[in-house]
Structure 1
Amino acid sequence: MSLRNYSIALSIIVALVLQIMPMPAIVDLYRPDWVMLVLSYWVLALPNRVNVGVAFFTGLILDILLGTSMGVHSFALCLSIYVLAANYQRLRNYSVWQQSIIIGILNALYNLVVFWLQHLITDIYFLFDYLWPVASSVVMWPWLFWLLRKVRRQLRLH
């Protein structure tokens, strides 16, 4: 089997590693939501191969890796990816900068759903710092988009 067959899974695994990689506290505050960004790219590029089901299983893996209650990240990812998948044909036609704004809004939805579910389970309180990953994800989207598009084109994924 070639790298071509496993490239989507490998990119999701790299995103999971980047999501859990230890970082200094000041930098960790601004860590982009790598899993959400990578899944968003693949849903826009190849919606027939990456969909809500992939988001569900990736979210369960993320719940296990982060030690959160089962289903929190899974539900939030499924909700955000569903909205993206339902509108992928329209969003594909936007420029990368317009897409980054929409990805930011969906990332805010993801983070707010995770917070809301954590609040229901553990009674945590909202801090504005929870939304810094949204800003960094908006900044990272064009770079990740161009990188994954280059990988997809070189491997001729369709």
Structure 2
Amino acid sequence: MTRSPSGWVIYGSLFTGLLVLVLPLPTGFDLARPYLLAMLLCYWLLEAPDHVGLGTAFVAGLLADLVSGTLFGEQAMRLVVLAFLVQRFRARLRFFPLWQQALAVFALLLNDRLIALAIRLAAGDGAAPWATWLSPVLGFALWPWLFLLLDELRLRLRERSP
């Protein structure tokens, strides 16, 4: 039986993802900001599915809407769709090599961009600037490092716990 990480690690990392949403970046880089909250959610859905699920994705999305000032419910819907897809294919994704996981996360983040585009168009805001499409590419590049960092943290905390 494997032990799951404590709640403070999971929710602390998701809180960090929320902080990254409001971290000031230069104008050009701001549009290409990787969706770290979604990537953290993907990791915890893969590694701690008993603690993180659709409800966590929904609440994290509502909080992300509040802190970033987006249409209320937009990120909640996007994260719930992402969480559903990760849960649906969890058995396969967990055992992919890291580069294939990175490709799957890229596809999930690209799907997220398409949902965001559909929401913007339905709300009458028009299409987002082209630089926002760099976000999934940066997520693809960051996924292996993020996965290894969180895995190392999770394993160290498991060794320390009684």
Q: TM-score range by the shorter chain?
A: over 0.9
Percent of pairs identical after alignment? 28
Q: Which residue of 1 aligns with 2:92?
A: 90
> Separation in 1 of the partners of 2:148 and 2:89?
20
Q: Which residue of 2 aligns with 1:27?
A: 29
* Number of residue pairs aligned between Structure 1 and Structure 2: 155
Q: Quick check: 1:118–1:124 contact (8 Å CA) kept in 2?
A: yes
Offset, 1:58: 0.3
> Separation in 2 of the partners of 1:5 and 1:114?
29
Q: Which residue of 2 aligns with 1:51?
A: 53
Q: Quick check: 2:22–2:68 contact (8 Å CA) kept in 1?
A: yes
Does the alignment pair 1:105 with 2:110? no
Deviations 1:32-73 (A, max 9, x none): 100000000000111111111100000000111111111111
Q: Which residue of 2 aligns with 1:130?
A: 132
Q: Which residue of 2 aligns with 1:145?
A: 147
TM-score (norm 1): 0.92
**Correspondence for 2:83 among 55, 59, 81:** 81
Helix, strand or coil at the partner of 1:69 = coil
**Correspondence for 2:38 among 36, 39, 46:** 36
CA RMSD of aligned residues (A): 1.6
> Separation in 1 of the partners of 2:109 and 2:67?
20
> Separation in 2 of the partners of 1:128 and 1:101?
21
- Going from structure 1 to structure 2, the CA distance change for 1:105 and 1:127 (only over 3 Å counts) comes to same
TM-score (norm 2): 0.90
- The residue type paired with residue 134 of structure 1 is P
Long gaps (5+) in structure 1:
none
- Going from structure 1 to structure 2, the CA distance change for 1:138 and 1:54 (only over 3 Å counts) comes to same
> Separation in 2 of the partners of 1:151 and 1:105?
26
Offset, 1:31: 1.3
Q: Quick check: 2:105–2:140 contact (8 Å CA) kept in 1?
A: yes
Long gaps (5+) in structure 2:
none
Q: Quick check: 2:33–2:132 contact (8 Å CA) kept in 1?
A: no
Q: Quick check: 1:55–1:74 contact (8 Å CA) kept in 2?
A: yes
Query: 4+ residue stretches of structure 1 with deviation over 2 A?
Result: 125-130
Bigger CA drift: 25-34 or 120-129?
120-129
- The residue type paired with residue 135 of structure 1 is V
